Amino acid sequence: MPRFSKNEKEFIRNKLLKEGERLFATHGIKKVTIDDLVEAVGIAKASFYKFYESKEYLYLDIVQGIQKKIFTELESILDSNVDLPGRERVRQTFSAMFKMMLCYPILAQIDMSTVKLIARKVSKERLSVLEGQNIDAVRALHNHGINFSCDIKTASYVFQALYHCWIYLQDKNIDVQTSVIDILFSGVINQIVAD
């Protein structure tokens, strides 16, 4: 098995993330194989396992990387709208988030069967990192002066449920998606964001 230099490792890891995102977005996690991934990246199958235990771990790294980009952008939105009431700040932030999510087709494919597949294939510790990242996003809202009428973890689950509603609506036209999400989101904001 070849030894990779630090630069080669970084190059291969980045290529795995890029090609993995492309393949998963095109075919879905169930249909993409390790063989597909190593062929796209140009490495041996055994080399893949120097980077990831399974394709599910790669998938999680891709999704978490995208979430991190989105959450960073959301923080800058929160920094720019500090003079607005809390509910309006959350509304603007999540409206921007849903628009950003459209730029990443892989996110639109995360349904309950994908979640269950990932949960079966990766460690509980690894899943808790993903859950922690979602909670951190809500904590960032709180740290930017948004007060919730429930605890941070509950608010995180509420926003995750909204995300799954958005996923469910992906096969509907954009007007239906926008209308339904606006109604749900307005209700959620009024219930859990204290102004």
Q: What is the pLDDT of residue 2?
A: 63
Same domain, yes or no, for 86 and 21?
A: no
Same domain, yes or no, for 137 and 113?
A: yes
HEC sequence for the chain: CCCCCHHHHHHHHHHHHHHHHHHHHHHCCCCCCHHHHHHHHCCCHHHHHHHCCCHHHHHHHHHHHHHHHHHHHHHHHHHHCCCCCHHHHHHHHHHHHHHHHCCCHHHHCCCHHHHHHHHHHCCHHHHHHHHHHHHHHHHHHHHCCCEECCCHHHHHHHHHHHHHHHHHHHHCCHHHHHHHHHHHHHHHHHHHEEC
| pLDDT value at 24 more than 60 | yes
Q: What is the pLDDT of residue 168?
A: 83
Q: What is the pTM of this model?
A: 0.85
CATH of the domain at 26: 1.10.10.60
Per-residue pLDDT reduced to its tens digit, 145-158: 999 999 999 999 99
Q: What is the pLDDT of residue 109?
A: 81
Summary mean pLDDT of the chain: 91
Same domain, yes or no, for 63 and 121?
A: yes
Same domain, yes or no, for 47 and 80?
A: no
Same domain, yes or no, for 35 and 90?
A: no
Mean pLDDT along residues 55-60 = 97
Mean pLDDT along residues 77-106 = 89
pLDDT band (50, 70, 90) for residue 142: very high
- Domain extent, residue 77, equals 54-194
